[in-house]
Structure 1
């Protein structure tokens, strides 16, 4: 396509994967890489259920390749960390509109690649749930990965799937992940160096992404076990989590039955219906139910009259850290403002030991929760 090729790195599961993609691009030494990502923020940041399309976003920069997210881009009624990420890193970041279904996504990827003269597409997933078969009981966020996997396989551009921070999203068990690796015959790459990870972490430590930030900490030599989801095994931080593994996108698309199931879709509602019919968790449905159950009259909040230690009495016994998302879910926080207050409180009350996105459990002893929410 071009005598001066560039890589197009796509965050497969949403905003957080872009953090890992930035670290991966710097580690590989890619020349002027281009990035693309779908937009579906957690309900605490964007109360409207489901993914957002380009018509839902203000101040995009339109190019022949599509819509780019810039520092002035805004999400009406919600908040996305992506414009601030662009401001701090200076990357070229395109918005992928998943409301158009897999067929629309494939067209968008082709347009971006043509306009940016990219001859290789790297689908980046922090955590590794993209290499699931699709029937694993712990799989809770399959929609975006399945759509991007199917679209990448169909767009006609040479592509790979790269997983970093294997297991750090807590969705696949180590055994399930190992089974996928054996079936897909993936190739282990050079670990993301501590210096690259430290540089990216300095820029993006504020970013609300557990799997990507945990990977950056692991690359810097931080170790431990982190309880990120109630009732599941803690995820393990160790240096191996910073080693990317790659495989051909077509092989992964054949392995992941969900990608095949949604490959002919032209809208997101159909994707959601197909995945529900296959027995998958509907993230969209969960968000709608949560919004419907939210009381109109303010209720007594969980933190009132309790210590943080009391509230986190169900932490896994083998964990030595607790994830921030685990904390804010336990506190039933509902807004970005409350999240910001919590982060400020953790940083001030536990200065020297709180490292986003986790807090060591030994820091919780006898601490009263006084965060002024």
Structure 2
């Protein structure tokens, strides 16, 4: 028997699902994590989630279930980090294709349960937007989570929902979120994060990185790239809350309204009615207005990049930040891959121990190039 987990929102949720699985069942328990290939424009320039047909090299283990392996590859122009992630995580990864709506997802989940030989589902979300009402002004990406909730309900298979790192996705304000979640079921600790220790060197999930940082005892205010405000890492940030599927359905109008939905276009229309927006439409607009790729610029030398970083670091400290994510550094400074590699190597070598995996500590003394 394999445990069956569902990464509710795609992106970094498979990493969180793996952490929760390890905490619940141990690192060696066989498991399958179903996840969307919905990795946002920072990874995939094509708006919306990908279908199974957008990949080569998936492993079909049934008409409704395709596995992602390290030899799987997205078909250009699509992009995906799932193949690489499949080689780093303990559980196997399976693709969720939402284009046939809740009905299609329910068939895929039921097929996965049969393949795993299990009669239970564990649905995992990092941050807590899975219990969003839909009217939160900072809500950005509720649709994938709500589709997963509605699909699990449609299967009739008993489902437990786990919300890890409340508020770390910066979508539902923490004072509103915590009463919906109730008391934590358990807390993640550093020992549960060893397997994913190197993933955030290349994976852009900021909520996942913050969860791992909190589990490792990092405390303070952290600046992220994909959030409207800084995140406070305190003791509660490593907590995992357990809810029944019934509780989550009662909290999520979007999930309830999606029941019976037979297509992704229909799901978008429901999201507009409940939340006032479709996140896929937002992605389409962002992709349409993305700057045209320009000719490669001349790389900046290491001293110029470091000087730029030092000025930026001072501004971040003035804003009250103590830590930042790798993504925040790379995107704020518009670094090429080579520039980022050189800068981060310099920061790792500083005496002030700026690297506190998976985050970076802002320091009052400027770093110096080797």
Shorter-chain TM-score bucket reads: 0.7 to 0.9
Q: Residue 53 of structure 1 corresponds to which residue in structure 2?
A: 51
Cα 1:316–1:262 change in 2 (3 A) is: farther
| Separation in structure 2 between the aligned mates of residue 229 and residue 87 of structure 1, nearest angstrom | 26
Alignment check: 8 A CA contact 1:187 1:247 kept: no
| Separation in structure 2 between the aligned mates of residue 310 and residue 281 of structure 1, nearest angstrom | 37
Alignment check: 8 A CA contact 1:120 1:159 kept: yes
Among 239, 252, 257, which residue is 1:243 paired with?
239
- Indicate the SS of the match to 1:34: strand
| Separation in structure 1 between the aligned mates of residue 42 and residue 365 of structure 2, nearest angstrom | 24
Q: Residue 298 of structure 1 corresponds to which residue in structure 2?
A: 294
| Separation in structure 1 between the aligned mates of residue 7 and residue 161 of structure 2, nearest angstrom | 10
Cα 1:104–1:155 change in 2 (3 A) is: same
- Indicate the SS of the match to 1:266: coil
Pairwise CA distance, 1:21: 1.1
Deviation by residue 1:332-357 (Cα, 9 ceiling, x = unmatched) = 67xxxx4x445423421211413455
| Separation in structure 2 between the aligned mates of residue 285 and residue 13 of structure 1, nearest angstrom | 17
Which shifted more, 323-332 or 220-229?
323-332
| Separation in structure 2 between the aligned mates of residue 86 and residue 8 of structure 1, nearest angstrom | 15
Q: Residue 39 of structure 2 corresponds to which residue in structure 1?
A: 41
Q: Residue 189 of structure 1 corresponds to which residue in structure 2?
A: 185
Q: Residue 63 of structure 1 corresponds to which residue in structure 2?
A: 61
- Indicate the SS of the match to 1:294: coil
| Separation in structure 2 between the aligned mates of residue 230 and residue 205 of structure 1, nearest angstrom | 17
Which shifted more, 231-240 or 267-276?
231-240
| Separation in structure 2 between the aligned mates of residue 27 and residue 231 of structure 1, nearest angstrom | 27
Alignment check: 8 A CA contact 2:164 2:239 kept: yes
Q: Residue 347 of structure 1 corresponds to which residue in structure 2?
A: 344
Which shifted more, 349-358 or 129-138?
349-358
Pairwise CA distance, 1:147: 0.7
| Separation in structure 2 between the aligned mates of residue 218 and residue 66 of structure 1, nearest angstrom | 34
Which shifted more, 227-236 or 130-139?
227-236
Deviation by residue 1:74-107 (Cα, 9 ceiling, x = unmatched) = 1112332221222233522110101121111011
Pairwise CA distance, 1:62: 0.2
Deviation by residue 1:4-55 (Cα, 9 ceiling, x = unmatched) = x542111001031111111111111253122110111121221111110111
- Indicate the SS of the match to 1:350: helix
Q: TM-score, normalised by structure 1?
A: 0.85
| Separation in structure 1 between the aligned mates of residue 94 and residue 19 of structure 2, nearest angstrom | 17
Deviation by residue 1:89-129 (Cα, 9 ceiling, x = unmatched) = 35221101011211110111111101211111111011111
Q: C-alpha root-mean-square deviation of aligned residues, in Å?
A: 2.8
Deviation by residue 1:251-297 (Cα, 9 ceiling, x = unmatched) = 20121011112222222122122212334443222222222223437
| Aligned 1:170-189 pairs, distance under 5 A | 170-181=170-181, 186-189=182-185
| Aligned 1:263-282 pairs, distance under 5 A | 263-282=259-278
| Aligned 1:1-373 pairs, distance under 5 A | 6-29=2-25, 31-64=29-62, 66-77=65-76, 78-181=78-181, 186-202=182-198, 206-229=202-225, 232-296=228-292, 298=294, 307-308=308-309, 310=311, 313=315, 317-331=319-333, 338=336, 340-341=337-338, 343-351=340-348, 352-355=353-356, 357-362=358-363, 365=366
Corresponding pairs, count: 354
- Indicate the SS of the match to 2:70: coil
| Separation in structure 2 between the aligned mates of residue 308 and residue 255 of structure 1, nearest angstrom | 43
Which shifted more, 152-161 or 315-324?
315-324
Cα 1:364–1:103 change in 2 (3 A) is: farther
Alignment check: 8 A CA contact 2:354 2:362 kept: no
Alignment check: 8 A CA contact 2:2 2:117 kept: yes
| Separation in structure 1 between the aligned mates of residue 357 and residue 272 of structure 2, nearest angstrom | 34
| Separation in structure 2 between the aligned mates of residue 16 and residue 297 of structure 1, nearest angstrom | 26
Alignment check: 8 A CA contact 1:223 1:237 kept: yes
Consecutive unaligned residues of structure 2, counting only runs of 5 or more, are: none
| Separation in structure 1 between the aligned mates of residue 249 and residue 177 of structure 2, nearest angstrom | 16
